[in-house]
Amino acid sequence: MNETKKKRGHAIALFSGGLDSALAILLMLKQDIEVTALTFMTHFGCDLGDRSSCGSNPYPAAEKFGFNVKLMHLGEKFVDIVRNPRFGRGKNMNPCTDCRILMLREAREFMEMSGADFVVTGEVMGQRPMSQVRDKLFLTIKQSGLKGKLLRPLSAKLLPPTEAELSGLVDREQLEGISGRSRKRQMELAEEFGLDDYPSPASGCLLTDSAYSGRLRDLLAHADRISFNDLNLLRAGRHFRLNPQAKIVVGRHESDNRTIAACAGPEQLRLEAEGIGSPLTLLIGDDSAESINKAAALTARYSAGRKQPTVEITVRSGNAIQKISVKPATAEEIGAVPVG
């Protein structure tokens, strides 16, 4: 690591681990600016194990090029803007503008707390229609309180100069004027810097996925309070909405079964066909006999006993256990159940 006292200034960078945010940081390091990178995490797919541009592991690049990384989880703040975004959503449940504003506000607070000079992002004008068109770029500056303090090195020459550029702390001539969705110039810069390991530009945010967004809409419509287990459960299994009070989640494979087991609350019923290949099924909400039978029939349908006349299903509630025999649900019955 380079020592702070040898640096000309200090920038706080938003760093997803993707190509653009990495290049923005490298353009600062090239000008002898110390960089502290903030990598934000949410409950909607921005995980360090994700090889998308949303959640790639930030540490290899930090170690290779010599900058610091701090992880910040947005937690309940992010859930709040997903539920009620002030500036609308994209095609699915993605509140891109509100998301960017929230991250920038967090970065501003960290900048002020650490005594840094400005904030850096890898945004490219015109690259993303929801959040990186000119009016949204200026909107996020205003809403985040970063007027004059937000530098976008990849498109800087297309934007008004920031305080860091006007003061000479950053040489504007060494910044870029990239616009649009082509990554040709970014790939040239990556080669110049020796940045050879970066993910594809596809978003890793689950809120842009139509199937996941449908499940989330269903959850928001039927739950007054949402736990992090509720959100994590949306990633796993097949989801069926029986009625406003009851939902069924059926595992598709062993990984789903583990997730469902980990997210199950003590009051929720767990069903499986023991002794044969079986999904783990979770019944959430209504635990009436009718709902239990439907959950059992779905469990049988997706078990190895799906072609048998009846399948014995074990139903667990806390330490209580009961066994029931049901006919596997038919395709017609599945189609009649709204899927969340």
Backbone φ and ψ for 115, nearest 5 degrees, come out as 75, 25
Site of tokens 């449940």: 93
Residue 132 confidence (pLDDT): 72
Reported as a pLDDT band with limits 50, 70 and 90, residue 130 is low
Reported as a pLDDT band with limits 50, 70 and 90, residue 131 is low
Residue 52 confidence (pLDDT): 44
Reported as a pLDDT band with limits 50, 70 and 90, residue 340 is low
pLDDT in tens, 179-228: 998 999 999 999 999 998 887 665 568 899 999 999 999 999 998 888 88
Backbone φ and ψ for 322, nearest 5 degrees, come out as -135, 155
E-only strand ranges, the chain: 9-14, 33-41, 68-73, 118-120, 150-151, 238-243, 246-250, 269-272, 281-285, 311-317, 320-326
Q: What is the largest CA-CA distance in the chain?
A: 79
Mean pLDDT for all residues in the chain: 91
Write out the two tokens for 312: 């014995």
Residue 311 confidence (pLDDT): 97
Is the pLDDT reported for residue 53 higher than 50?
A: no
Instruction: Write the CATH number of the domain with boundaries 4-193.
Output: 3.40.50.620
Residue 51 confidence (pLDDT): 44
Q: Is the dihedral of CA 41, 42, 48, 50 positive or negative?
A: negative
Helices within 202-288 (DSSP H only) = 210-222, 228-233, 254-263
Is the pLDDT reported for residue 49 higher than 80?
A: no
In this structure, the number of other CB atoms found within 10 A of the CB of residue 290 comes to: 12
Q: Please state the domain extents for the chain.
A: 4-193, 209-335
Reported as a pLDDT band with limits 50, 70 and 90, residue 148 is very high
Determine what percent of the chain falls in helix, strand and coil, rounding each to the nearest 5. 40, 20, 45
Instruction: Give the percent of the chain with pLDDT over 90.
Output: 75
For the residues 8-34, what does the mean pLDDT come to? 96
Give the Cα separation of 18 and 123 in Å (integer): 11
DSSP lists the bridge partners of residue 31 as none
- 54 within 8 A of 46, measured Cβ to Cβ: yes
Give the single-character DSSP code of 14.
E
Residue 204 confidence (pLDDT): 63
Least confident of 5-14, 17-26, 44-53: 44-53
Reported as a pLDDT band with limits 50, 70 and 90, residue 1 is very low
Site of tokens 């990598």: 39
Residue 205 confidence (pLDDT): 83
DSSP conformation letters of 137-174: HHHHHHHHT-TTTEE-TTTGGGS---HHHHTTSS-GGG
- 107 within 8 A of 116, measured Cβ to Cβ: no
Helices within 167-227 (DSSP H only) = 184-193, 210-222
Question: How far, in Å, are 35, 113, 128, 331 from residue 14 at the CA level?
Answer: 10, 16, 16, 47
Residue 133 confidence (pLDDT): 81
Instruction: Pick the more confident residue, 43 or 279.
Output: 279
